[in-house]
């Protein structure tokens, strides 16, 4: 892990998150990598996880080469034992987690009658169960700190329906409900729980076909929204962010 040097105060220009620790799930590529890179550039010590060892190592190296603190771990965030190990290792090596970005996600699309039970379990476990498991593991430390930001990467598919989106929409509507309830449970402890709902993003994500790159968001657009949430004033609570491409697809 590479330390950031020449840091004297939290107010140093460009490093407002100095001294904080962020955990980003699904941080090996796409949106997760962009978020991890952004938080690291703002001074946070960042822990990323994923299931693809090669992609995870590439993401870690890319962040470290920019001179930022980063720790990567292979973990399946649909499994409680992996999550417990992930959180324990992060806190042992970097410190208490004050920022959690639940980004791990997957998509399977098509009419419900054509989908299998295995596909349902895969999408719901990855997109929804993981948010529950990782948040549950991180929240006790945030309560002790009486502060924290939990940001769940949802989707506009969590607000709208479309043909072929049954399983995916079900998972993201679940994320919306879980996020809202967690926010009410935890705001009294100084913890903000927010949802970021992007539209189409140019990533390797298993989507619904090729999109015009000029008519979709970039991973950095989502990372910018996450940064806005964690940098808001301590008395402020932005509960939900909707991101759309400026030009309609």
Instruction: Specify the CATH number for the domain of residue 191.
Output: 3.40.50.720
Residue 60 domain-assigned? yes
By residue count, the chain amounts to: 249
At residue 214, the pLDDT reads: 78
Asked if residue 125 has pLDDT above 70, the reply is: yes
**Average pLDDT for residues 185-199, to the nearest whole number?**
98
At residue 100, the pLDDT reads: 98
Active-site residue (options: 37, 102, 155, 168): 168
Number of domains in the chain: 1
Q: Is 186 a catalytic residue?
A: no
- The set of residues, in sequence order, having a beta carbon less than 8 Å from that of 232 and lying 6+ positions away, is 238
At residue 153, the pLDDT reads: 98
At residue 215, the pLDDT reads: 85
Residue 90 domain-assigned? yes
Residue 173 domain-assigned? yes
**Average pLDDT for residues 206-221, to the nearest whole number?**
77
pTM of the model: 0.91
By residue range, what is the domain housing residue 149? 21-243
pLDDT interval class at 228 (50, 70, 90): very high
Asked if residue 209 has pLDDT above 80, the reply is: no
- The set of residues, in sequence order, having a beta carbon less than 8 Å from that of 124 and lying 6+ positions away, is 167, 170, 171, 174
Residue 11 domain-assigned? no
pLDDT interval class at 68 (50, 70, 90): confident
Residue 234 domain-assigned? yes
Cβ atoms of 130 and 154 closer than 8 Å: no
pLDDT interval class at 210 (50, 70, 90): low
Using CA atoms, how far apart are residues 176 and 197, in angstroms rounded to an integer?
A: 9
Residue 2 domain-assigned? no
Q: How many CB atoms lie within 10 A of CB 18?
A: 18
Instruction: Dump strand ranges (E) for the chain.
Output: 21-24, 45-50, 70-74, 99-102, 148-153, 191-198, 240-243
Residue 94 domain-assigned? yes
pLDDT interval class at 207 (50, 70, 90): low
Q: Of all residues in the chain, what percent carry a pLDDT higher than 90?
A: 85
- The kind and range of the H/E element at 138 are helix 130-145
Residue 16 domain-assigned? no
**125: Cα within 13 Å, side-chain hemisphere:** 11
**Average pLDDT for residues 200-219, to the nearest whole number?**
75
């Amino acid at each position: 892990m590479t330390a950031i040097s020449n840091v004297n105060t939290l107010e140093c220009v460009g490093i407002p998150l100095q001294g904080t620790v962020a955990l980003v799930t699904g941080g090996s590529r796409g949106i997760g990598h962009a978020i991890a890179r952004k938080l690291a550039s703002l001074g946070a010590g960042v822990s990323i996880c994923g299931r693809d060892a090669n992609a995870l190592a590439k993401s870690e190296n890319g962040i470290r080469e920019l001179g930022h603190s980063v720790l990567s771990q292979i973990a399946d965030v649909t499994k409680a034992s992996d999550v417990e190990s992930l959180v324990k290792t992060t806190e042992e090596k970097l410190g208490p987690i004050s920022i959690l970005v639940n980004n791990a996600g997957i998509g399977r699309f098509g009419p419900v009658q054509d989908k299998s039970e295995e596909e349902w379990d895969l999408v719901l476990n990855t997109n929804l169960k993981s948010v529950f498991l990782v948040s549950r593991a991180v929240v006790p430390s945030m309560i002790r700190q009486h502060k924290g930001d939990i940001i769940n990467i949802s989707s506009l598919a969590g607000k709208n329906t479309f043909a072929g989106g049954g399983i995916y929409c079900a998972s993201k509507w679940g994320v919306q409900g879980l996020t809202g309830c967690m926010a009410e449970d935890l705001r009294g402890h100084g913890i903000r729980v927010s949802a970021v709902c992007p539209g189409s993003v140019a990533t390797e994500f298993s989507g619904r076909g090729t999109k015009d790159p000029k008519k979709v968001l970039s991973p950095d657009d989502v990372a910018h929204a996450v940064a806005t949430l964690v940098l808001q004033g301590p008395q402020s609570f932005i509960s939900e962010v909707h991101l759309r491409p400026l030009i309609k697809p």
